Amino acid sequence: MAERSFAKEVQSLRLGDGAEFRGEGILAVTKALLQSGVAYVGGYQGAPISHLMDVLADAEEILNELGVHFETSASEATAAAMLAASINYPIRGAVTWKSTVGTNVASDALANLASSGVRGGALIILGEDYGEGASIMQERTHAFAMKSQMWLLDPRPHLPDIVRAVETGFELSEATNTPVMLMLRIRACHVYGRFTTKANRRPAFAAADALAAPSRDYSRIILPPSTYAQEKEKIEKRLPAALRFVAEQQLNDFIPGEVDDIGIVLQGGLYNNTLRALELLDCADTFGTTKIPLYCLNVTYPLVPQEWVKFCSGKRAVLIVEEGQPEFIEQAANQILRKHDVPARLLGKDVLPMTGEYSVDVLRRGLAEFIGRWAPQLRATQPAAPAREIVETPLVPAARLAALIPARPSGLCTGCPERPFFAAMKLLQREIGPLHISADIGCHSFATLPPFNMGNSIMGYGLGAAGAAALGTEGGRRAVAVMGDGGFWHNGLTSGIGNAVFNRHDDLTVIVDNGYSAATGGQDIPSSRAPNEHRAGNNTIENAVKGVGVKWVKRTHTFDMQGTLKVLREALSTGFRGPKVIIAEGECQLNRQRRVKPLMKKAIKDGKRVVRERFGVDAETCTGDHSCIRLSGCPSLTVRKNPDPLRTDPVAYVDNSCVGCGVCGEVAHAAVLCPSFYRAELVYNPSGWDRFLSRVRGAIIGALQQRSERKRLQYAL
C-alpha cells in the first residue's frame, strides 16, 4: 500500500499523438518512457522519486498492454543489474532510485555496466536528494558519472524539457553505447505542467526476442583483457560520440540577453531558481526574457568544449552556477577556456556558497554581487515605476525568529508501533545501564532523537547489524543492532544476519516488522501480509533468519511493552552464545489508517454501527509527572493548564490527532503505574441498546457527581 495512489492520474498515460498532457513531473517521466518504447523498468523506492515507483505500480495494467516488464527491485543494486539486458541486445531499459545513497548501493553493477557498454538504450533516473530538504548525507551524483564515465543529464524543471531529456537520453545512450543518468531534483519530480504527447510505442525489441536468439560477445564481459579494451573504447569512441551528439542535437540551451560582455552558465535543474533570482534583481521577467545571456547545461557531463568557447568568447566575466561541492564544472570550464586561450574571467564559488542548496534567496545574493561587480548598469537602468510609499521594515535576527517558532524535529508518527518498543528500550537501560545501539536507515532512525536519544551510529540501509560487527565478539555487555523489515530485505539478511552467523557474533539484532517499507512511502516488501495481485508476499522474516542459521529467535508485539521488556532482558542475559534476533511486530500506523479510515467512513455513511477508540487523561488525577511524554513523545500528547487552581504543574492532554493505539497509557503504566489515562469508545450510528446503556451510565454518573458536589459544599461550609 503506497503512500499515494495514482490510479486516476495514470489514465493520462494513454494519451496519443497531439494530445495535451497535464500533470506532475513523475507522471511526465513515465509517459516519456512509454513514448520511447522502453521494454523493461525497475527500481527501488525512495525520496525524492519514490512516487515514480508508485506511478509505475499503478500503471502496471498499461505497461502490460504494451509488453513492458516492470518490477519493484529488492535493492538499487538489483535494479542496476537489470540493465545487463541492454548490454547484448538492442533493448531499451530504465531503472530508478534515490541518489546518492542508492547509487552507492548500485555502484558495483553500474561500474561494470559502464565498462562493458550497452547496445540498447540504458537510462538511470535518479532523484538527486541534495539540499535542505534532503534526508541523506550531502553528496552529488556528478562525481559518480565522471568516475565511471556515464553521461549525466540535468534538464530544466519544465515538463517539455524533462520529457525531451528522457527521449534523447535513450538516443544518446544508443549513439554512444553508454548508460545515461537523468538527474531530477525534488521540485522537478513534483512540478506541474503540460506538454504535447506522442503515441506510446511497444518495445521494438523485447525480452522474448532476446531469449529466442541469445547473443554473446566476449568483448563485453568484465574480465581482462576485455576491460582494458573497454577503457580505451570509452576515450577513443564513446566520449567523442557523446560530444558530437550533445552538440548536434542542441541538448544544451543558449538564451540570449541584452548585454554581450558577461554571461551565466548554470545547471539545467537550477534554471527556475536562477531566473526567479534574476527577476527579483530586475534582470529578467517571468517569461524567460533575460538581460544576461544564459548557457543552460541540460547535460552537465560531458561538457562540450566548443560550446563553452562559443559562449565565453568576447565576455569579460562568466558566472558558473553549480550547486554543491567540489566545483567539478567550474574546474573543467577553467581548463577548457585556458586551453583555447579564452580570457573570460570565470566566477563561481567566490560569489556563491561552496555548500548547500541554491535557493532563490541564495542565488539572488550571489547574482547581485556578480552583477554589481561586472555590470552595475543593468540594475541602474530600470524602467520608471509609479511612485509608492516605501515602508522600512526592520530586520529581525534569525535567532529571534527561531525562538518564536516551535521546534518541529523529525519523529515517529502518531500511533507508530515503533514508539512503544523504543520506550521499552529506554526503560530497560534504566535498569541495566546504557547500551551500544547500532541504528539503521528507516523510521526507527528517529529513535536517535528526543525523547529516546538512542543510537550510536547509522551506516546505511540494512547495515544496522553490520555496524555492530566489530563489537559482536564474546565478552562484556552485548551490543544491540536495530533494523527495519525494509532494510532487512534490502541488505540486512546477508550483510547483517548472515555475517553475524558466519562470524559467530554474540550480539542482539532487533528487526522492526511493521509490514511495509514504511520510510519510503509504505510500499510492499517480501514479508508484507496484505494481498498483492502482482507480488508474492507473506515470506516471514523468522523463516529467513532461521534459514541462514540463527538459532535464537523470539517474537514480540511492540504494543505489549511488558512482554517486550521481558524478551529484551532475556536476550541480553541468556547464556546462549551466538547471534540473537528479536522480531518486534506492529503494523505501520500510517498504512493502517490509510486502509481503515475509508472503510470506517463508508460504514458510517451506510448507517452501520462503528466504534472508535480514543484515549484521554483525567486532569484531576494527572500528577504532572509526564512520564507518558518523556518516554513516548507521541505527537498527540501535549500539556495544558491545570484546571485545579491550587496546582501549578500543567497536566497531560491527548489531542484530536489520537488514533487510539493506547501507547501513551501503556508507557505510563510500564513506567510508573499512572492511573490518569482512560479509554473511551465513540459509537457512530448507535443501536437501541447503546442508547439505553448511555442513559443508564449518564444517570449513574450524574448521581455520583451530585453526591460529590454536595460533599464539596458541606466541607466548604
Mean pLDDT for 130-143 is: 82
Q: What is the pLDDT of residue 576?
A: 92
Q: Considering the domain boundaries, does residue 334 fall inside one?
A: yes
Task: Say if residue 489's pLDDT is above 50.
Answer: yes
Task: Say if residue 146's pLDDT is above 90.
Answer: yes
**Position with higher pLDDT, 225 vs 397:** 225
Q: Tell me the three state secondary structure of residue 391.
A: coil
Q: Considering the domain boundaries, does residue 599 fall inside one?
A: no
Q: What is the pLDDT of residue 612?
A: 86
Identify which of 286, 304, 300, 293 has the alpha carbon closest to the alpha carbon of residue 239: 304
Q: What is the pLDDT of residue 388?
A: 44
As a whole number of angstroms, the distance between CA 276 and CA 292 comes to 13
pLDDT tens-digit profile of 675-708? 788 878 889 999 999 999 999 999 998 898 888 7
Query: How high is the mean pLDDT of the chain?
Result: 89
**Position with higher pLDDT, 655 vs 434:** 434
Q: What is the pLDDT of residue 413?
A: 86
Q: Considering the domain boundaries, does residue 612 fall inside one?
A: yes
My answer on whether 443 and 566 are in the same domain is yes
My answer on whether 320 and 371 are in the same domain is yes
Mean pLDDT for 644-671 is: 76
Least confident range of 13-22, 178-187, 415-424? 415-424
Domain boundary pick from 194, 220, 248: 248
Q: What is the pLDDT of residue 407?
A: 67
User: What single-letter amino acid sits at 568?
Assistant: L
As a whole number of angstroms, the distance between CA 662 and CA 660 comes to 5
Residue 552 φ/ψ, nearest 5 degrees: -105, 105
Q: Tell me the three state secondary structure of residue 315.
A: coil
Buried b / exposed e along 217-231 (16+ C-beta atoms within 10 A): eeebeeeeebeeebe
Least confident range of 275-284, 321-330, 378-387, 446-455? 378-387
Provide the 10 A C-beta neighbour count for residue 534.
12
Mean pLDDT for 313-319 is: 96
My answer on whether 260 and 358 are in the same domain is yes
Task: Supply the CATH number for residue 469's domain.
Answer: 3.40.50.970
My answer on whether 429 and 561 are in the same domain is yes
Q: What is the dihedral of CA 711, 712, 713, 717, to 10 degrees?
A: 100
Task: Supply the CATH number for residue 627's domain.
Answer: 3.30.70.20
Mean pLDDT for 366-373 is: 95
Task: Say if residue 513's pLDDT is above 90.
Answer: yes
**Position with higher pLDDT, 97 vs 615:** 97
Q: What is the pLDDT of residue 380?
A: 62
Q: Considering the domain boundaries, does residue 70 fall inside one?
A: yes
Task: Say if residue 263's pLDDT is above 90.
Answer: yes
Identify which of 608, 612, 613 has the alpha carbon closest to the alpha carbon of residue 687: 608
Q: Considering the domain boundaries, does residue 395 fall inside one?
A: no
My answer on whether 227 and 277 are in the same domain is no
My answer on whether 639 and 562 are in the same domain is no
User: What single-letter amino acid sits at 73?
Assistant: S
My answer on whether 542 and 672 are in the same domain is no
Q: Considering the domain boundaries, does residue 411 fall inside one?
A: no
My answer on whether 89 and 202 are in the same domain is yes
Task: Supply the CATH number for residue 279's domain.
Answer: 3.40.50.920
Contact indicator for 93, 85 with CB cutoff of 8 Å: yes
My answer on whether 365 and 446 are in the same domain is no
Q: What is the pLDDT of residue 414?
A: 86
Q: What is the pLDDT of residue 632?
A: 77
Q: 412 falls in which pLDDT band (50, 70, 90)?
A: confident
Kindly give, in sequence order, each residue whose CB lies less than 8 Å from that of residue 512, ignoring residues fewer than 6 positions away.
Answer: 417, 418, 421, 442, 443, 444, 482, 483, 484, 485, 558, 584, 586
The structural domain count of the chain equals 4
pLDDT tens-digit profile of 23-45? 999 999 999 999 999 999 999 98
Q: What is the pLDDT of residue 387?
A: 44
User: Which whole-number Å values give the CA distances from 140 to 129, 136, 339, 532, 584, in the listed order?
Assistant: 8, 11, 27, 36, 36
Q: Where are the alpha helices (DSSP H) in 582-679?
A: 589-605, 627-632, 663-672
Q: What is the pLDDT of residue 386?
A: 47
Domain boundary pick from 346, 379, 412: 379
Contact indicator for 447, 426 with CB cutoff of 8 Å: no
Q: Considering the domain boundaries, does residue 401 fall inside one?
A: no
My answer on whether 182 and 53 are in the same domain is yes
Identify which of 261, 259, 267, 269 has the alpha carbon closest to the alpha carbon of residue 295: 267
> Which structural domain range is residue 676 located in?
608-685
Identify which of 122, 343, 364, 389 has the alpha carbon closest to the alpha carbon of residue 238: 122
Query: What does DSSP assign to residue 235?
Result: I
As a whole number of angstroms, the distance between CA 165 and CA 173 comes to 12
Task: Say if residue 395's pLDDT is above 70.
Answer: no
Q: What is the dihedral of CA 455, 459, 465, 467, to 10 degrees?
A: -90
Task: Say if residue 638's pLDDT is above 90.
Answer: no
Hunting for cell 553549480 — which residue is that?
Answer: 322
Identify which of 299, 306, 149, 153 has the alpha carbon closest to the alpha carbon of residue 233: 149
My answer on whether 259 and 225 are in the same domain is no
As a whole number of angstroms, the distance between CA 92 and CA 364 comes to 41
Identify which of 620, 618, 619, 599 has the alpha carbon closest to the alpha carbon of residue 610: 599
My answer on whether 134 and 231 are in the same domain is yes
Q: Considering the domain boundaries, does residue 439 fall inside one?
A: yes
